[in-house]
Amino acid sequence: YPASHAMLQVTPHAQYTPPMVRPKYERREEWRIFSDLALACGAKPWGKVGNLLPRINRLLARLPGNAELTPDHVLALLMRWGGEVTLEQLKQEPGGVLLPPNEPGSFFGKRVASKDGKVQLYPIDVAADLPRLQAEESRLRPRPGQLVLIGQRDRRSHNSWMHNSPHIRQPAGNRALIHPVDAEALSIADGDQIEIGTDQGAVRLLARLTDEVRVGVIAVPHGWGHKGAPVQRAAALPGANINEVIPGGHANIEPVSGMAIMMGHEVQVRRVEARTTATPKTDQRPQPG
């Protein structure tokens, strides 16, 4: 299970899940790929010991035999050093093991992993990037025919993971949420088919007029558009993949976090086709995140 999420558990527990399928042919485990990438670019994702695993394996590869250090070896060592259970115990309990409940207390100055033991509310890297952020905000001024694209989550759709489930009633695809003021300026009525585009690409989907989004903004749920995907039920669902519109490249990487910038892009919006039949109502109120 993702050990990085252990601190977020409401009920502390541990569970070991072995690989369901072993890599075949030239395929490799993700940890090997990311380890080699980290070595190649000189990155140290976990500090000085971050690349210790691939470095040791490169040394072992020069020696006789097939000795190799894997994440399981590292995990077993860490669990013996400071864990409540051992890796072998976890492997014997496929359903997982409950750990002692969290105990309340004061941990400031003890558990905060900063040099001074304090929570960094105004990190230097973030402060240095604020002028760029302010420039971006001033650049996104309303212009005729253009709106600012933001994302949205669907209540019955966690990204795209639930679209192929036969047990969940799915919405009739995703809709583009537009404020009535913007819709009037663009001659768009509720249920019209519209086109959203950038230099990257364009998609077509139905419009939904709502005052739940701000003027100048268009919100489109992500995770839709499965045509051509090897998932029979999801591929039959309507909807468009908004990722086809979002620009890529290094210029669209957020410099502090290293994340792709998925929101805040200017898009051209136009009506393609007026509504000809009644559009089914969908439960697509904007969700946090």
Average pLDDT over residues 211-225: 91
- Which has more confidence, 275 or 114? 114
Domain chopping of the chain, boundaries: 3-98, 142-273
C-beta of residue 160 within 8 angstroms of C-beta of residue 179: no
**E strand spans, the chain:** 13-14, 97-98, 146-152, 175-178, 193-197, 202-209, 217-221, 265-273
Closest by Cα among 93, 253, 288, 286 to 175: 286
d(CA 136, CA 263): 12
Burial class (CB in 10 A: 0-12, 13-18, 19+), 279: middle
pLDDT digits (tens, 9 = 90+) for 157-180: 776 677 777 787 777 788 999 999
Where is average pLDDT lowest: 79-88, 127-136, 161-170?
A: 161-170
Please tell me the predicted confidence (pLDDT) of residue 277: 54
- What pLDDT band is residue 190 in, cutting at 50, 70 and 90? very high
Give the helix ranges, DSSP H, for the chain. Answer: 30-41, 52-60, 71-82, 87-91, 124-139, 180-185, 232-235
Please tell me the predicted confidence (pLDDT) of residue 269: 95
Paired sense of beta strands 146-152 and 217-221, if any: parallel
Question: How much of the chain, in percent, has pLDDT values that exceed 70?
Answer: 88
pLDDT digits (tens, 9 = 90+) for 271-283: 997 665 544 444 4
Q: How many C-beta atoms surround the C-beta of residue 242 within 10 A?
A: 25
C-beta of residue 235 within 8 angstroms of C-beta of residue 229: yes
Question: CATH code for 142-273?
Answer: 2.40.40.20
Q: How many C-beta atoms surround the C-beta of residue 128 within 10 A?
A: 11
d(CA 58, CA 83): 29
Please tell me the predicted confidence (pLDDT) of residue 184: 95
d(CA 1, CA 96): 10
Please tell me the predicted confidence (pLDDT) of residue 283: 44
Where is average pLDDT lowest: 118-132, 161-175, 202-216?
A: 161-175
pLDDT digits (tens, 9 = 90+) for 39-64: 888 776 666 655 677 778 778 777 78
